[in-house]
Chains A and B, each alone.
Chain A
Amino acid sequence: MLDLLFRALIGGLGVASVAGPLGAFVVWRRMAYFGDTLAHSALLGVALGFLFDINLNLAIIVLCVGLALVLVTLQKKHIIATDTLLGILAHSALSLGLVAVSFLDNIRIDLMAYLFGDLLAISQTDVYWIYGGGLAVISLLVIFWKPLLAVTVNEELAKVEGYPVEAIRLLLMLLVALVIAVAMKIVGVLLITSLMIIPAATARKLSNTPVQMASIASVLGCLSVCGGLWASYHWDTPTGPSVVVCAAFLFLLAYSLPFKRLG
């Protein structure tokens, strides 16, 4: 039992430390709904992964990136407002995923685990995926920190100064897709975005610079994972939702107490 908990903790902390900094970008660029859309489509990735018998993480990443590209293309054509477009894609992708899963007669899929996550069910391989993917995301964030931030602050200024704006935007989507793929096991497709957004939003209250906000978001995410696991162990509550509740509690705490920002 303790072994199981330990592995869950290691996996959860890995996901939370990556989701925090990336969540900061999602908050700054107002991509929350975009993240949701990608997350919802991840279930379709799972179904396709089973259908074609390919690695599930890989299937999710490919599907998320593909959807992100479709989204950007449609957005440029200005056919319909972006939030409507996201709404259409998010729920069609989720429904398509649920329908596709129902066709998988010979395989039993624990749907609840994919929708809401099951931290206690993660395997050693999952942990490797989390740390491999997480390391890739963090390295890319560190290497491209300045262009990512410059494009986030003001795209036109960045473009005039010679930053490759389109490429950076794509990179950010790729990173979000990667995090969704590795975080799905922990909190599930319906709750992934919360693990990115809530710690980042809480960190905003406590920080003065972008780096501070990204790092504090990491720490808060890790605290939420610890808290959620502890609650889950004690009261036998579902792990994924417990982690999110814990993150939300920290958010309320930060905004109701008179904390001072770091200098």
Chain B
Amino acid sequence: MNFKEILLRAKAGEEPAVIALLEMYKPLLIKGAIFGGRFDEDLYQELCITLIRCIKLFRF
């Protein structure tokens, strides 16, 4: 399954596709969630929500 397909499925609200994207971007989110020299779980959670919002809002 290519990226476009996953993104379209995730946009349509298919959970497995959203999870696939979450997994795919996990490193990016973890990197963003490091704050003050440690991993901030609350921030990580916020960023996961940000990803889900981005899936919805992204236009191409």
Are chains A and B native binding partners rather than an unrelated pairing?
no
Which residues of A are interface residues toward B (Cβ below 8 A)? none
